[in-house]
């Protein structure tokens, strides 16, 4: 007898279980599960929605389930809890899926994987959610705790947001993180022009529109770019618009010698090489050798040749025999700015991770500084919004290096649309989720003194 293919919700259940039990990254695992499950193409958007939505809303879903479950949630089997979460997510947040279909399939799965008692419990809880609706979050009296549950973020993270940005801004960030991310692509202007690329994509069934903020970007409104010839032949790259700002902040010129110290997976390196018109030398290093190898494939796809991938630990760099004109440190960070796109990060990271990462970031900055020539510029960027990894990190670095000063030229090199996010002295940008349709990003520019006299000043 032919084995019955798994349904969308069974695949969603298995995917969510693996993410939770194996600490797997949601984006990578979801792609693997789509391939191995042989789901129909038409079912993939629903699978993606259920998986990401359930992870995003996990704390608020558990709040609902605690109200209706007679058993404490930590006493339920893992797969039962995940099945309940994904079913309640659909009941409360998806309009196009009929309630009876959600309930029937949850009960069928519970029967198949458990026994009659479990399916009865699942049936009872879900029917009560349907009849009574979700309980009010107002029953949580403490405001920060209420925000953490309603906005589905870890309490420690919301505490830090409130400390660093104030309650109102923290609330905006939390709810922005629950929105669907904008899907942006960077056009490879070294290879063609934007209008030609737009026509190529349209012929392949991908609809795009101009980004209101970023000149190099298009926003995808329909279709999957990664399956097009335009992507395979290197006319476009998938990249968040906030990430595109990093290469613009570096302002690379053709013929320069540049270091991208923490380069993998390579999106910023490729953008830098495109802006250099493929003229000069770009050393792209990363601590993971297998990731460095991926850079070569990207370079080939985009028709570039000036990038030299190097496996190296950026914390252990010595003074370069030939110093670099510009250096980019896109530092390893907590990733707390990309929760729209990678919601599992917020449940995996711990507050103690931030202190550990701060030490690594500081070591990298100290090491790469030696490789920058006098008068050169260093761009430090992260995809986090935590100030200890950003502003405070740079303030500490500047206090230790008398030949380093804030470079105030970002207003001159970044698109006008982002000028409101640049700090008063022109040396720092903090993008928050929800502001420009980007991830949360931090970028700052530091200049190295050209002469001893300049240091003395």
Contact partners, residue 184, CB within 8 Å, separation at least 6: 211, 214, 217, 218, 219, 220, 238, 239, 240, 241, 244, 437
Pick the catalytic residue from 197, 307, 383, 432: 383
Binding-site residues from annotation: 262-268, 286, 313, 330
- Helices 143-150 and 58-68 pack at an angle, to 10 degrees, of 100
DSSP code per residue over 35-100: HHHT--GGGHHHHHHHHHHHHHTHHHHHHHHHHH-SS-GGGS-HHHHHHHHHHHHHHHH-SSS-HH
Q: Which residue is listed with tokens 């198949």?
A: 112
Coil/strand/helix, residue 258: strand
**Residue 333 a catalytic site member:** no
User: 186, 201 in Cβ contact below 8 A?
Assistant: no
**First and final CA of the chain: distance in angstroms?**
82
265 alpha carbon, distance to own chain's centre: 13
From 315, 317, 348, select the one nearest 334 (Cα to Cα): 348
In the beta sheet, which residues pair with residue 326? 258, 377
Give backbone dihedrals phi and psi of 385, rounded to 5 degrees, phi first. Answer: -115, 10
- List the structure tokens of 137: 């979050």
- Encoded tokens for 73: 């949630």
Binding-site entries for S-adenosyl-L-methionine: 262-268, 286, 313, 330
Three-state SS string across 349-405, please?
A: CCHHHHHHHHHHHHHHHHHHHCCEEEEEEEEEEECCCCCCCCHHHHHHHHHHCCCEE
Catalytic residues: 383
């Amino acid at each position: 007898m032919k084995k019955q293919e798994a349904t969308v919700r069974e695949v969603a259940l298995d995917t969510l279980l693996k993410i939770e039990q194996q600490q797997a990254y949601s984006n990578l695992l979801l792609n693997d599960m789509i391939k191995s499950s042989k789901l129909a193409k038409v079912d993939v958007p629903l699978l993606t929605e259920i998986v990401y939505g359930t992870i995003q809303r996990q704390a608020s879903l558990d709040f609902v389930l605690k109200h209706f479950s007679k058993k404490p949630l930590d006493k339920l089997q893992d797969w039962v809890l995940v099945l309940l979460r994904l079913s309640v997510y659909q009941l409360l947040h998806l309009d196009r899926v009929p309630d009876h279909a959600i309930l029937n399939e949850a009960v069928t799965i519970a029967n198949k994987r458990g026994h009659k008692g479990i399916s009865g419990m699942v049936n009872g809880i879900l029917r009560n959610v349907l009849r009574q609706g979700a309980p009010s979050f107002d029953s949580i009296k403490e405001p920060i705790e209420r925000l953490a549950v309603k906005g589905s973020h870890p309490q420690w993270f919301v505490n830090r947001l409130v400390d660093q940005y104030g309650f109102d801004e923290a609330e905006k960030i939390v709810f922005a993180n629950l929105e669907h991310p904008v899907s942006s692509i960077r056009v490879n202007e070294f290879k063609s022009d934007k209008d030609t690329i737009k026509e190529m994509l349209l012929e392949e069934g991908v609809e795009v529109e101009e980004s209101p903020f970023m000149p190099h970007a298009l926003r995808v409104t329909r279709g999957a770019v990664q399956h097009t010839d335009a992507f395979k032949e290197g006319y476009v790259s998938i990249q968040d618009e906030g990430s595109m700002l990093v290469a613009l902040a570096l302002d690379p010129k053709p013929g320069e010698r540049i270091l991208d110290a923490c380069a993998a997976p390579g999106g910023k390196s490729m953008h830098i090489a495109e802006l250099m018109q493929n003229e000069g030398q770009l050393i792209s290093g990363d601590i993971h050798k297998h990731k460095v190898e991926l850079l070569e494939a990207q370079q080939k796809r985009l028709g570039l040749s000036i990038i030299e991938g190097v496996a190296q630990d950026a914390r252990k760099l010595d003074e370069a025999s030939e110093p670099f004109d510009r250096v980019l440190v896109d530092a390893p960070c907590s990733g707390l700015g990309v929760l729209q796109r990678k919601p599992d990060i917020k449940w995996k990271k711990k507050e103690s991770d931030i202190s550990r990462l701060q030490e690594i970031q500081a070591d990298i900055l100290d090491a790469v500084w030696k490789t920058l020539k006098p008068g050169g510029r260093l761009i430090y960027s992260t995809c986090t919004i935590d100030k200890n990894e950003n502003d405070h990190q740079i303030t500490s670095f500047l206090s230790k290096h008398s030949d380093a000063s804030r470079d105030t030229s970002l207003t001159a090199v970044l698109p006008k649309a982002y000028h409101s996010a640049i700090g008063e002295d022109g040396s720092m940008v903090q993008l928050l989720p929800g502001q420009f349709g980007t991830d949360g990003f931090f970028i700052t520019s530091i200049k190295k003194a050209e002469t001893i006299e300049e240091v003395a000043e």
